[in-house]
């Protein structure tokens, strides 16, 4: 599985400034349907988690990566917890900006401790379309 890029909350401002200068970034609100926006020329998409209990961004990331074929960066921002990272990665997120109280070193340990996060061994996801037990 492709490694997800993790960004510490304290580096958020530097990251956001660099992103806006370097790439054509689109921010999609939780209430918006990604199928209704033009992705032409977009290199990076930010999806917000206003609360960790609000999972609409998971659906948006899945739609973007799997159904719409978006190949650029999909960034999780807002109330991003370490506990959500593996599911974010399976949903199509490529980058996560951690919430202020979430230590970067712990997040990195969690993702490397469970490579591939095989909860989805019996189902496909945004990254691996076929179930893991099906040979390609």
Query: What was the pLDDT predicted at 112?
Result: 81
* CATH of residue 74: 3.20.20.70
- Domain with 66, as residue range(s), is 5-32+40-115
Is residue 1 a contact partner of residue 121, using CB atoms and an 8 Å limit?
Answer: no
pTM for the complete prediction? 0.78
Q: Which residue has the tokens 């990076």?
A: 44
pLDDT interval class at 9 (50, 70, 90):
confident
More confident residue, 22 or 4: 4
Structure tokens at 85: 């990272």
Which of these, 114, 104, 53, 115, lies nearest to 95 by C-alpha position?
104
47-105 pLDDT per residue, tens:
999 998 999 999 999 999 988 999 999 999 999 999 999 889 989 999 999 999 999 99
Q: Is 133 domain-assigned?
A: no
Q: What is the total count of domains within the chain? A: 1
Q: Is 126 domain-assigned?
A: no
């Amino acid at each position: 599985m492709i490694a997800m890029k993790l960004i510490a909350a304290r580096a958020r401002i530097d990251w956001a400034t660099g992103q806006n200068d370097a790439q054509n970034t689109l921010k999609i609100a939780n209430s918006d349907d990604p199928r209704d926006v033009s992705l032409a020329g977009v290199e990076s998409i930010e999806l917000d988690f206003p609360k960790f209990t609000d999972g609409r961004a998971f659906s948006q990331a899945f739609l973007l990566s799997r159904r719409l074929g978006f190949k650029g960066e999909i960034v999780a921002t807002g109330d991003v917890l370490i506990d959500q990272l593996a599911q974010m990665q399976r949903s199509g997120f490529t980058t996560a900006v951690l919430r202020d109280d979430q230590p970067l070193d712990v997040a990195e340990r969690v993702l490397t401790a469970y490579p591939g996060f095989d909860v989805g061994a019996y189902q496909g996801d945004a990254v691996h379309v076929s179930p893991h037990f099906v040979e390609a």
